[in-house]
Amino acid sequence: MIQGTQIPTPPPFDPNLFFMNDNAAPVIVMIVLASLAAATIILWPIMRAIGRRMEHKAGPDPALRGELEQLQHRLAEVDVLQARLAELEERLDFAERLLAQNKDPERLPR
């Protein structure tokens, strides 16, 4: 090992020297613009999502509510028609069974 050899330490960074330099103004402007652009890109979707949630908490649109009620009414009508159709199918099956029995007295042998 070599004794007595010291590693030189770099001089400390002094931000005052950087800002006092005449060439620092464009760099500072670019840093500010880049940070604003990054914040906008990151925060824009978050703020839109928060805005949408706030709109939906106010309540649904009255036109949408009216359309929903109309669809529910039509669905109830369809349920009634399905029940009537099932009853008609049962009646038709019964009539077909009666006709298939062939109870004509004229065809019976004497």
Look at residue 57 in the predicted model and tell me its pLDDT.
Answer: 75
- The mean pLDDT of 86-105, rounded to a whole number, is 86
| CA 92 from centre of chain | 47
Look at residue 72 in the predicted model and tell me its pLDDT.
Answer: 96
> Distance between CA atoms of 51 and 61, rounded to whole angstroms?
16
- For residue range 29-38, list pLDDT tens digits in order: 889 999 999 9
User: Amino acid identity, residue 13?
Assistant: F
Does this model's pTM top 0.85? My answer is no
Q: Following DSSP, what letter does each residue of 13-79 receive, concatenated?
A: P-HHHHHHSTTHHHHHHHHHHHHHHHHHHHHHHHHHHHHHHHHHHT---HHHHHHHHHHHHHHHHHH
- For residue range 29-81, list pLDDT tens digits in order: 889 999 999 999 999 999 999 988 888 776 667 788 899 999 999 999 999 99
